[in-house]
Amino acid sequence: MEDFLNESIGGLDRDVTVKDIKLKEVPMVDKISEKVEFTVEDDNGRMFTISDCWIEDYKGNKDIKGLWYSTGKNGISPMSALAQIMRYHEVEKLNDFIGMKLAVYPDKNNYLVLTTCDITEEDLKLTMVPDTAKPEKTKTDLFDK
């Protein structure tokens, strides 16, 4: 039996294994675009689909972008988030991700996303919902002087 009294708060990162990768059609205003959707499984056997990732731009700013499937005459667009995630994990084809163990992190809505950069606790704090345990006191002028 686990000693639950000695359990501490874990980190926000989680490891998952890629089980499948598919294209998902996304209706846009004037066309239908496609997003790459990773089906992953965590260590507890729960399955998730992920179609976004953390990206770091040339200035060092980190943001979450969609894994849009955009191609040119020579393959996947080299500046796309999809190409960046492939380079980060050193794979040549999307199929190379199948069976691979990847780290995922939550976005601001607590959905898991892949990453193309190293994520710190500070990066994650920027996306987290503010602590509601101590709500900020609002002055109403009714009784507050």
Q: What is the CATH number of the domain that holds 59?
A: 2.40.50
| pLDDT of the residue at 14 | 83
The domain of 110 spans 10-127
Which residue stretches of the chain have pLDDT < 50? Answer: 132-134
How many whole angstroms separate alpha carbon 101 and alpha carbon 97? Answer: 8
| pLDDT of the residue at 75 | 92
Per-residue b or e along 80-105, where b marks 16 or more CB atoms closer than 10 Å to that residue's CB:
bbbebbbebeeeeebeebeeeebebb
Whether 3 is covered by a domain: the verdict is no
| pLDDT of the residue at 133 | 46
How many whole angstroms separate alpha carbon 53 and alpha carbon 3? Answer: 35
Q: Which of 60, 47, 44 is nearest to 10 (CA)?
A: 44
Q: Which helix (H) or strand (E) holds 15?
A: strand 14-27
Whether 115 is covered by a domain: the verdict is yes
Whether 143 is covered by a domain: the verdict is no
Put the strands of the sheet holding 32-42 in their side by side order. 47-50, 32-42, 14-27, 101-106, 112-115, 52-56, 62-66
Residues 6+ apart with CB under 8 A from 91: 97, 100
| pLDDT of the residue at 118 | 73
Whether 119 is covered by a domain: the verdict is yes
Whether 46 is covered by a domain: the verdict is yes
How many whole angstroms separate alpha carbon 77 and alpha carbon 97? Answer: 18
| pLDDT of the residue at 10 | 73
The pTM for the full model equals 0.75
Amino acid at 67: L
Whether 132 is covered by a domain: the verdict is no
Whether 5 is covered by a domain: the verdict is no
Query: How many domains does the chain divide into?
Result: 1
| pLDDT of the residue at 80 | 92
